[in-house]
């Protein structure tokens, strides 16, 4: 049985409503699944932090989410960047990491 390639979504979230985030993510998931990718969940919540780290409460929660995202990236074949990624600090860091480590990069419209 052939293993599905995995994809991760990098998406700007600052200043967006939960509904806007989910709508953009759903579009990205549909594109990636139509290409045959399995999408790794990187839409983290406070629940995802529990038990993930030996830290009780991270001092910089967005940085902790970025660390979780980079960890997820290590198991992916491709990273999909949603529109506006170039204006979001975390997405730019993810993009630099993907480029430096030779991961395939796709850009959403």
Kindly report, residue by residue over 73-108, the tens digit of the pLDDT.
999 999 999 999 999 999 999 999 999 999 999 999
Q: Mean of the pLDDT values across residues 66-76?
A: 93
Closest by Cα among 102, 42, 95, 44 to 77: 102
With beta carbons less than 8 A apart as the criterion, state whether 49 and 64 touch.
Answer: yes
Q: pTM to 2 decimals?
A: 0.84
């Amino acid at each position: 049985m052939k293993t599905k390639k995995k994809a991760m979504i990098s998406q700007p979230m600052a200043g967006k409503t939960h509904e806007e985030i989910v709508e953009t993510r759903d579009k990205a998931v549909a594109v990636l699944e139509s290409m045959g990718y399995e999408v790794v969940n990187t839409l983290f919540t406070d629940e995802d932090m529990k038990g993930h780290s030996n830290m009780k409460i991270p001092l910089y929660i967005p940085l902790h989410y970025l660390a979780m995202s980079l960890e997820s990236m290590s198991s992916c074949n491709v990273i999909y960047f949603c529109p506006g990624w170039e204006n979001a600090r975390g997405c730019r860091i993810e993009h630099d990491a993907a480029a430096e480590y030779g991961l395939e990069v796709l850009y959403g419209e």
